Amino acid sequence: MKMDVLLGLQWGDEGKGKVVDYLAPAYEMVARFQGGPNAGHTLEFDGIKHVLHQIPSGIFRKNIHNIIGNGVVLDPVVLKKEIEALKKFNIDFKKNLAISKKATIILPTHKLLDAAYEKSKGDKKIGSTLKGIGPTYQDKVGRVALRVGDMLAPDFKEKYLELSDRHRSILEYYQYKLNDLPSLEAEFFDAVTFFKSLNLVETEFEVNAALKSGKKVLAEGAQGSLLDIDFGSYPFVTSSSTMTAGACTGLGVPPAAIGEVFGIFKAYCTRVGSGPFPTELFDEDGEKMRKEGNEFGSTTGRPRRCGWLDLPALKYSIMINGVSQLFMMKADVLNDFEEIKVCTGYELPDGSTTDRLFPSGNDESFKPIYKTLNGWHCNLNEVEQYKDFPDALKNYVEFLEKHLEVPINMVSVGPDRKKTILK
């Protein structure tokens, strides 16, 4: 059996959580392979909205085994709070959730370092979520980080103090105050005690055993492809590999085991934090997208930057990920637009054109070239089948398919599970 991969193709916030929840009944295992509590996967069903930060989005399905893989950086405090918030759903976390012993732990001092680094950048800050993600991945690559398995060791406290002392010296250099550290540490060690009651295992064996036995596995990514540490809009990126290849290293699965690659994108574009955004809107249309789409970060609450769909960016993400199917989210947000624009390429300073992403780096010395399409200008609340879509929406889907050369097999027209239309 092959492992399918689901990931975002833009700058994150594409609606991956909803799609994982929708697809989950077809799978027996859902595995998260990278990122940390800087991700916010929003699911909505039975009129209730749920935001998950570290737990895989298959957790609400009782027959699915959920995996937090080695590529994830875990905040024990956040995970403890997430689990406690889900107690009312009678989820058996000992049975339905397994956490890799190789996953890296976010320490309280990692969060302080994140804040200190961001503050030191001044106007050049990258827009970090300040969850400690970057400093934790730095320690992982520097081979000094602590991992989930270390929490089971009798000398864990000594290991913690050794690493946190290293962090303290850096914080002293930045003259960053440590007033909050005692309370953060108390909360952290309380969460560590709680962690020991969970199912901590070598998850790479579980995932590969599931595949070998013929079970269907879905790998769930966080953030988006344009935030990838290598191929995103560097340096305004996250600290992990957000693409298909990251599913292999983040779960311990060989490349030959990858099956379908589901690429998720919004019918328009959004971005949180700093960095290039060629189609960003600063007018009434951008504000309308933000309002209609409730475009505020599910992790940070920050207003998202909004703009028209960027096809060069989408084509790039499709290429580096090997996307085989596309799912378009939030089509309903564009319901009230008379006209809808799509960026099909860029005009360079010398007058030439290209359809390659970021042709001149991050300096944005190029202009998007737009194709204008008719909007559907109607409510989609009553639509339950693709054949009932207004012609303008069908034309929009077909236009995108023609340019992207990958089928769009699902269109979301609302946040609820039921508002997911298969093509």
pLDDT in tens, 380-399: 988 999 999 999 999 999 99
**pLDDT at 45 exceeding the cut of 70:** no
Backbone torsions φ then ψ of 144, nearest 5 degrees: -125, 0
Average pLDDT over the chain, rounded to an integer: 92
**pLDDT at 346 exceeding the cut of 60:** yes
**pLDDT at 3 exceeding the cut of 90:** yes
Lowest-confidence region among 257-266, 310-319, 355-364, 370-379: 355-364
pLDDT value at residue 22: 85
Tokens 């994830």 map to which residue? 72
**pLDDT at 73 exceeding the cut of 80:** yes
d(CA 329, CA 308): 14
In 16-139, which ranges are E strands? 29-32, 41-45, 48-52, 65-68, 73-74, 97-100, 104-105
Tokens 């860029």 map to which residue? 346
Q: Which two tokens stand for residue 346?
A: 């860029």
Percent of the chain past pLDDT 90, that is, above it, reads 75
Backbone torsions φ then ψ of 261, nearest 5 degrees: -120, 110
Lowest-confidence region among 11-15, 52-56, 137-141, 201-205: 52-56
CA-wise closest residue to 357 among 221, 223, 230, 231: 231
CA atoms within 13 A on the CB side of 398: 10
**pLDDT at 364 exceeding the cut of 90:** no
pLDDT value at residue 60: 84
Contact 245, 228 (CB under 8 A): no
pLDDT value at residue 135: 96
Q: Does the global pTM surpass 0.85?
A: yes
DSSP-derived secondary structure for 242-297: -SHHHHHHHHT--GGGEEEEEEEEESSEEE-SSS--TTB--SHHHHHHHHHTT-B-
Contact 135, 114 (CB under 8 A): yes
Give 234: exposed, middle or buried? Use CB within 10 Å, 0-12, 13-18, 19+. Answer: middle
What does each C-alpha distance from 103 to 61, 89, 131, 236 come to in angstroms? 24, 26, 16, 24
Q: Diameter of the chain by CA atoms? A: 65
Q: Which two tokens stand for residue 328?
A: 């378009």
Which residues are catalytic, by number? 13, 41
